[in-house]
């Protein structure tokens, strides 16, 4: 699960939730877009923790946020803490985690199926895998 030797680690949503429950230094960085946070929902974290909301690709143009690394470092400067990265399906979050590894962060972990997971047989997300489908707590505004 954890990162080693300059590589991004991988975890399921439940594995991430377990670490977040036991490690006060652990963080979640939700790299989705503002509309996703507003309309799809946010992970509800244990112990009153709040996810760090920082777009990897900036809506609406969806270009990569070139300041992502600096912005996250300003919020979370503990380079050895476990940092879980979350997006819709695990692709953007992996890229964001890799960027932070390049900046010297040692324990960046991608939540592999993201918040909504892959599409099901009807073409819908949120039913097969990921944070929501795994039964991890979440909320909508």
- Which pLDDT score, from 0 to 100, does residue 6 have? 78
Residues of the chain with pLDDT under 50: none
Structure confidence at residue 1 (pLDDT): 60
Q: How far apart are CA 101 and CA 117, in angstroms?
A: 24
How much is the pLDDT for 3? 60
Question: Any idea how long the chain is?
Answer: 141
Tens digits of residue pLDDT in 55-87: 999 999 999 999 999 999 999 999 999 999 999
The pLDDT score that the predictor gives to residue 141 is: 79
Looking at the chain, the whole-number percentage of residues with pLDDT higher than 90 is: 94
26's tokens: 């652990």
Record: fold of 9-139: Oxidized Rhodanese; domain 1 (3.40.250)
Phi/psi at 43 (nearest 5 deg)?
-65, 140
At 41, list the tokens. Answer: 């929902």
Residue 46, pLDDT score: 95
* Phi, psi dihedral angles at 133 (to 5 degrees): -70, -25
Q: What is the pLDDT of residue 4?
A: 60
3-state secondary structure 25-73: CCEEEECCCHHHHHHCCEECCHHHCCCEECCCEECCCCEECCCHHHHHH
């Amino acid at each position: 699960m954890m990162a080693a030797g300059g590589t991004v680690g991988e975890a399921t949503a439940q594995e991430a939730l377990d670490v977040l429950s036991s490690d006060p230094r652990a963080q979640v960085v939700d790299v989705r877009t503002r509309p996703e946070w507003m309309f799809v929902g946010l992970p509800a974290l244990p112990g009153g923790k709040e996810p760090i909301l920082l777009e990897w690709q900036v809506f609406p143009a969806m270009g990569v946020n070139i300041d992502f690394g600096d912005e996250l470092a300003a919020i979370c400067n503990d380079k050895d803490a476990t940092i879980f990265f979350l997006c819709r399906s695990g692709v953007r979050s992996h890229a964001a985690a890799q960027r932070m590894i390049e900046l010297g962060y040692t324990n960046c972990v991608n939540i592999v199926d993201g918040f909504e997971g892959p599409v099901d047989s009807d073409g819908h997300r949120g039913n097969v895998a990921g944070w929501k489908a795994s039964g991890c707590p979440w909320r909508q505004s």
